[in-house]
């Protein structure tokens, strides 16, 4: 049980990290693009 829970937590953490990176990269790129356009 403990091993399964740990594996699930690790998988969930990895998924959240992937999601965070996947959303942060385009968002920062878009923000930089908008700043550049506004110059």
CA distance 8 to 16: 12
For residue 25, what is the DSSP state? H
Is residue 17 over pLDDT 90? yes
* Number of domains composing the chain: 1
pTM of the predicted protein model: 0.56
Quick one: pLDDT at residue 5?
83
CA distance 35 to 29: 10
Domain encompassing residue 34 = 1-39
pLDDT-derived band at 1 (thresholds 50, 70, 90) equals low
Quick one: pLDDT at residue 15?
94
């Amino acid at each position: 049980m403990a091993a399964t829970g740990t594996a699930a937590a690790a998988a969930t953490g990895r998924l959240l990290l992937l999601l965070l990176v996947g959303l942060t990269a385009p968002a920062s790129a878009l923000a930089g693009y908008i700043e550049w356009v506004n110059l």
